[in-house]
Chain A
């Protein structure tokens, strides 16, 4: 409410020109009646969670036997021991997962809060939300589903943000000593954190798409340049790193305003890079995923580095100082110990950095970042002359000859790479093994820290691989944003009936066991098989970094439409809710299930009918944990790569326990065995081969028609035979009647069914929710 009073006489005197704003008038804009769970509190959906957790039980994988979170401890929790507070290992393990998911949800929510406040300040709270024009009616499927509101303007998003912040606070409080004691209740809260995280992410992307002019659900979003070699290093180079785009926008806007298009090269690493190309695909370029930070900085190519928030190396300032490049920190969450110069005149800041009086500055104003970054880099670049800390070949050979083969580097390497062997070869002048290691290197530089001789081993690898790094020139489709309602209408039926075998979401960070090329291999395998392949974040970049014989990347070979056989980049980390949103919209638009605050029913629909699977092959962060947990609660299984085992808890079904796999037939109320589909909610794949077989298997759903199940079984059996060399041993659990059997495999499968004593099963109208049973026996 806004009240303006020109003149008011009161007991205390005369008040003139008084203006008051109190809250906002909430106008009902959505005709659909409110569903059962608007703005759910942390126990509102507990019953749904327990249904999931009864089937998909936690398998705990603690890092360590002790709890060291309070001064009672350390407490040894091994086996059946309890800590001083009474907590056991199961609950402690869940508590750690909850902490990770709270960190993730808080990070995305804070990111969204910053973006929304910044954009409201710049563009006004009444700026309309528009993520796809007339192609999208349900602009915020997650927020509508969870909160029961239909946001129309930027300021409408604040209600949902208030909700997220409240929930994260409650959830985090549950991890305090002496709070929650049950592992399953911790797990329920993990799922809640994930759901809240999805809302936070959706708000962030909704706001930036709407106001910053990002592609709006555009299947033909332009291709952009990606790779080390795409940067024109003859120009001054600004490198931006992080996730929150306003400071990058400030740089591009300043360049545009000053007509300096061609004077400066703006490149990025991680999700800021993705979002920068959504803002300006012609002016911004992507160097690579998160793991490219050190190699690019040490190469000396960036003349100035701007960091915002999330996934930025904590030593970015230290590394930047080594190459004499100034740093601008632009987020209150990542100040790097730098002095806050937001209020200083730009000229002073620029002068201080150009003269080297300060290694960097903190500027919490994106427009000022733009001006200071551009003017500083113009002055700094000629002085720096691309000063680098990558050694020359002779230095590497000399160091290699001094290497004592102590193995400390290999023991520090997350992937146990044979660095000592490579050093042995380097001592003889052969740098190829070092270059090969770089191809699978996650860029952590733990080898550097471990080396007792202080050899910069990561830099040695970068030098060895320099030639191929320079040749890295790829095309990636700019993040398209949401999936159009019309696309959902077209594929909803084939997906639910199983005729499109599945949606595979390749998401997450770049902590890969054997390099990013595996992500591209997996993506192409499933695109060729006519799955819908969607991607986001670093995985979307890694997929682009492989070319075929004709020099084309996946994004050049496969369409960006949400259809069978496509490869889609939805955008950055905060774009992940477009993937969840697609599943939600299948239930809402195609199946016409009520959407508004109707979480349980929609999740039940997705679990039983939408063959979607997430694969986070290089998942590393707490954000990845919360993103995954948002998918679990919605009924979408997630597979992580081997390093994902370190999330320390899986949610595993037991296909050998028949009673776990009964669903209600909504037509009759009968409990019907539906088979282990999907078998797990969260698991680790050890190799890419295993991941591919699991993806095909996890796309099966109880609702599949016989035609659809036959198609899905064809892919599962075919991949299993090709990659494992044998028929799957559990095929009998997925064949419900003989019409499910793929024709080309009929004899082979029938033989197995006979051996296993298989009996025909009924195909139900599946649900886990008794309230959805339409007619009970005797009615």
Chain B
């Protein structure tokens, strides 16, 4: 069965270069494993959306711990990380981290060099849409992944529009398989 690569907000048309669909969560695992310097950017919706029991931010923490991916928490999301006893998230606005990722000279949060893969979750859809567009055009060596539940066409890879259940299951697979890194 085919899956349509259709932006969640229907008018958000990207242009000729659209995100590749990640029909299997293993794509994320493979990309993270292949990346030399991945980074995970987590917006405030990661702590709000989702089911009552599990929130995206919990997956973010598990991904970070499992695969050693550094985390940037945008807006006030850092407080949610701290509440969960996760203290290593850097705090930056979404625009600041987006802007730094376009700078090939930027040495990263730890001074270890520029990043080659940026994974996004929890930003408002339209904000992530334009930030990913900026990175697509102005960050030649960076690949981007949208981990949100909705197809975001300016990313390099994106999930299609998923049900909460499918999305949840995808994250379980990602976190479990990243453990093998």
List A residues at the B interface (Cβ < 8 Å).
57, 59-66, 76-80, 89-90, 408, 411-412, 414, 416, 450, 513, 642-643, 645-646, 648, 650, 652, 654, 656, 680, 683-687, 689-690, 693-694, 723-726, 728-729
Contact = CB atoms under 8 A, between A and B. Distances in A.
Contacts of A79: 136-137, 140
Contacts of B2: none
Given A89-B138, A643-B126, A65 B76 contact: no
Contact of B134 (A61, A414, A680, A685): A61
A173 to B, nearest CB: 26
B125 A650 contact: no
A726 B79 contact: yes
A690 B76 contact: yes
Interface in B95-123: 95-96, 98-100, 102-103, 106, 123
A645 B82 contact: no
Given A65-B17, A416-B125, A686-B74, 19 more contacts: A61-B133, A62-B134, A62-B137, A65-B15, A76-B15, A76-B17, A416-B8, A642-B127, A645-B126, A654-B99, A656-B100, A684-B95, A684-B127, A686-B75, A687-B75, A725-B82, A725-B83, A726-B91, A728-B91
16 contacts: A62-B130, A62-B133, A63-B12, A64-B15, A78-B136, A414-B126, A450-B10, A645-B127, A652-B99, A654-B99, A680-B95, A683-B93, A686-B44, A689-B75, A724-B91, A726-B78
A57 to B, nearest CB: 8
A417 to B, nearest CB: 12
A608 B100 CA distance: 25
A414 B98 CA distance: 22
Contacts of B9: 411-412, 414, 416
Contact of B76 (A63, A645, A650, A689): A689
B131 A61 contact: yes
A686 B16 contact: no
A683 B98 CA distance: 12
A701 to B, nearest CB: 20
A63 B159 CA distance: 20
Contacts of A412: 9-11
Contacts of B35: none
A529 to B, nearest CB: 18
B76 A80 contact: no
Of the four ranges (under 10, 10 to 19, 20 to 34, 35 or more), the interface on chain B belongs to: 35 or more
B93 A684 contact: yes
A415 B96 CA distance: 23
B138 A60 contact: yes
B5 to A, nearest CB: 14
A656 B108 CA distance: 11
Contacts of A90: 138
A749 B8 CA distance: 45
B107 to A, nearest CB: 9
Interface in B6-53: 8-17, 43-44
A512 to B, nearest CB: 12
Contacts of A59: 95, 98-99, 102, 134
Nearest to B78: A724
A728 B78 CA distance: 11
Contacts of B90: 729
A440 B21 CA distance: 32
Contacts of A77: 137
Contacts of B102: 59
B28 to A, nearest CB: 23
B137 A60 contact: yes
B179 interface: no
Contacts of A645: 95, 126-127, 130-131
A62 B135 CA distance: 10
B69 interface: no
Contact of B137 (A89, A643, A650): A89
B79 A724 contact: yes
B8 A411 contact: yes
A414 B95 CA distance: 20
Contacts of A684: 93-95, 127
Query: In the complex, which of the residues B11, B15, B98, B136 has the most CB atoms of chain A within 10 Å of its own CB atom?
Result: B15
Interface in B118-156: 123-127, 130-131, 133-134, 136-138, 140
B136 to A, nearest CB: 6
A690 B95 CA distance: 12
Rank and list the top 8 A-B pairs by shortest CB-CB distance, nearest first. A65-B15, A725-B79, A61-B130, A689-B76, A686-B75, A690-B75, A59-B99, A687-B75
A656 to B, nearest CB: 8
Nearest to B79: A725
Contacts of A450: 10
A690 B14 contact: no
A90 B134 CA distance: 10
A650 B79 contact: no
Nearest to B16: A76
A412 B8 CA distance: 9
A643 B16 CA distance: 24
B14 A65 contact: yes
A90 B137 CA distance: 9
B76 A687 contact: yes
A78 B93 contact: no
A488 B14 CA distance: 49
Contacts of B93: 683-686, 690, 694
A188 to B, nearest CB: 20
Contacts of A57: 99
Interface string B56-96: 00000000000000000011101100110000001101111
Nearest to A694: B93
Nearest to B48: A687
A690 B97 CA distance: 14
Nearest to A90: B138
Nearest to A687: B75
Query: In the complex, which of the residues A59, A684, A690, A729 has the most CB atoms of chain B within 10 Å of its own CB atom?
Result: A59
B75 A685 contact: yes
Contacts of A683: 93, 95-96
A60 B10 CA distance: 22
A645 B134 CA distance: 11
Nearest to A60: B134
A408 B127 CA distance: 20
A65 B137 contact: yes
Nearest to B90: A729
Nearest to B98: A59
Nearest to B122: A686
Nearest to B6: A411
Contact of B91 (A414, A687, A729): A729
B133 A65 contact: yes
A600 B111 CA distance: 38
A725 B78 contact: yes
Given A690-B75, A723-B76, A513 B15 contact: no
Nearest to B102: A59
B44 A687 contact: yes
A297 B131 CA distance: 37
A646 B125 CA distance: 11
Contact of A652 (B79, B95, B106): B95
Nearest to A81: B137
